[in-house]
């Protein structure tokens, strides 16, 4: 990437991050302890409307601690949406458990409730009841919340809700991150708001939040010396990162508006181009933060123009774009793990493209993107 490259999704600071950081440096709370953490957690809880938030150093560590809190151990099986970023699935391996991958349905691109139930029944018939379900709101579009919850409850299996990409999204008016038995967010640099690196757990009770923070800060027992009776982790968010997060929360609504405007830009651009669809929520119950706007390009309808034609044209013009997440069951790392479903996610991967969607993009950026796309079509 050169400095002229239009990025997919870049950090976008507001007015007050600098002020919060400067105050934090002056106070010398330059550690994984300090007043910004509780403030950041309180404000995120208020935004979500329910749940107890524990701020951590990444979304990946939040998923790992979430699995630990759900009791996932070596030898267990965990059901996981196959179409996702590898960080959804890697923590299953950290625990020595086995991931069982599930296909998507075509409406939300997320966990297919039918394939999920098939998998549960087959795993139970084979003698193992899965320990947890990892469901993802891909690109900000909520999964089929009610249908997935029904299946999970029928078998008594808890849901770990990966809302890493879905801060600000909602289903039937309720915010994503609050539907799982445990929810997680990421504040990595490419997400809708960032703390540089960071994440959070959303828990159902204050007691569980306390337990999560205990594990995340090396599981120190109550003693004057360092005493440990359980395995601990260094997973807490730093007070400096929380300072950035305080500033970013203040501009979240504006960032959501700008991401949505990028989505509208692509909808307008492609409305008269056959064979290209801009991924949009399937129904009025769903509200997406449109973290990334994504396209499906069907060469049989575009006169032979493929995803790769478009991707290469954009990349040649220094415009960042990328195929959709490659499903986990097609990854070399996971190729021997069980998989349930058909070819929905594999097809999406073949024809899908993530477009530059950041809230910091300018009119000049949009003109450049438009020019290249109109050249291709």
Ligand X SMILES: *Cc1c(COP(=O)(O)O)cnc(C)c1O
Positions that interact with ligand X (CB under 6 A): 58-60, 84-85, 87-88, 136, 162, 164-165, 186, 188, 199
Q: Rounded to the nearest whole angstrom, what is the least distance from the CB of residue 104 to ligand X in the complex? A: 13
Q: How far is the CB of 168 from ligand X (least distance, A)?
A: 14
Which CB atom, from 88 or from 302, has the smaller least distance to ligand X?
88
Minimum Å gap between C-beta 373 and ligand X is 25
Residue nearer to ligand X on the CB measure, 98 or 197: 197
Smallest distance, ligand X to C-beta of residue 327, A: 13
d(CA 277, CA 221): 55
- Give residues with Cβ within 8 angstroms of 257, minimum separation 6: none
128 class by beta-carbon count within 10 Å (0-12 exposed, 13-18 middle, 19+ buried): middle
In this chain, which residue has its C-beta nearest to ligand X? 59
Gap between the Cα atoms of 45 and 187, Å rounded = 15
- Kindly tell me which of 334 and 377 has the beta carbon lying closer to ligand X: 334
Of 168 and 199, which CB lies nearer to ligand X in the complex structure? Answer: 199
Instruction: Report the distance separating Cα 55 and Cα 59, nearest Å.
Output: 10
Least spacing, CB of residue 9 vs ligand X, in Å: 10
Would you say 233 and 289 are in contact if contact means Cβ atoms under 8 Å apart? Answer: no
Contact 53, 209 (CB under 8 A): yes
Q: Are 167 and 177 in contact (CB under 8 A)?
A: yes
CB 341 to ligand X: min, Å: 18
Nearer to ligand X, 60 or 337 (CB): 60
29/187 with CB nearer ligand X: 187
Give the closest residue to 259 by CA, choosing from 83, 2, 12: 12
- Cα–Cα distance, 98 to 341 (Å, whole number): 17
Rounded CA gap, 184 and 53, in Å?
9
């Amino acid at each position: 990437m050169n400095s002229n490259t239009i990025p997919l999704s870049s950090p976008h600071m507001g007015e007050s991050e600098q002020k919060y950081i400067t105050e934090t440096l002056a106070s010398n709370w330059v550690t994984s302890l300090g007043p910004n953490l509780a403030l950041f957690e309180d404000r995120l809880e208020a935004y979500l409307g329910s749940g107890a938030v524990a701020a951590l150093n990444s979304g990946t560590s939040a998923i790992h601690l979430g699995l630990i809190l759900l009791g996932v151990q070596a030898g267990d099986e965990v059901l996981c949406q196959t179409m996702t970023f590898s960080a959804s699935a890697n923590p299953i391996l950290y625990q020595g458990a086995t991931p069982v991958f599930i296909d998507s349905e075509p409406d939300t691109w997320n966990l297919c409730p039918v394939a999920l139930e098939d998998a549960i029944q087959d795993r139970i018939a084979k003698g193992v009841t899965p320990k947890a379900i990892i469901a993802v709101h891909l690109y900000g579009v909520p999964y089929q919340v009610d249908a997935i919850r029904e299946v999970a409850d029928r078998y008594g299996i808890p849901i770990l809700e990966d809302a890493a990409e879905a801060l600000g999204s909602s289903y039937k008016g309720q915010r994503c991150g609050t539907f799982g038995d445990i929810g997680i967010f990421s504040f990595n640099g490419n997400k809708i708001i960032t703390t540089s690196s960071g994440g959070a757990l959303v828990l159902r009770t204050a007691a569980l939040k306390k337990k999560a923070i205990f594990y995340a800060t090396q599981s120190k027992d109550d003693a004057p010396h360092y005493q440990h009776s359980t395995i601990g982790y260094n997973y807490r968010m730093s007070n400096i990162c929380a300072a950035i997060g305080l500033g970013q929360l203040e501009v979240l609504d504006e960032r959501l508006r700008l991401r949505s405007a990028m989505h509208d830009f692509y909808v307008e651009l492609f409305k008269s181009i056959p064979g290209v669809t801009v991924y949009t929520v399937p129904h009025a119950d769903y509200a997406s933060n449109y973290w990334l706007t994504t396209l499906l390009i069907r060469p049989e309808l575009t006169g032979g123009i493929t995803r790769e034609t478009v991707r290469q044209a954009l990349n040649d013009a220094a415009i960042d774009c990328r195929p959709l997440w490659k499903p986990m069951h097609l990854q070399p790392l996971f190729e021997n793990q069980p998989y349930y479903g058909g070819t929905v996610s594999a097809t999406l991967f073949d024809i899908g493209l993530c477009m530059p969607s950041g809230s910091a993009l300018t009119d000049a950026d949009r003109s450049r993107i438009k020019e290249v796309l109109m050249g291709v079509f």
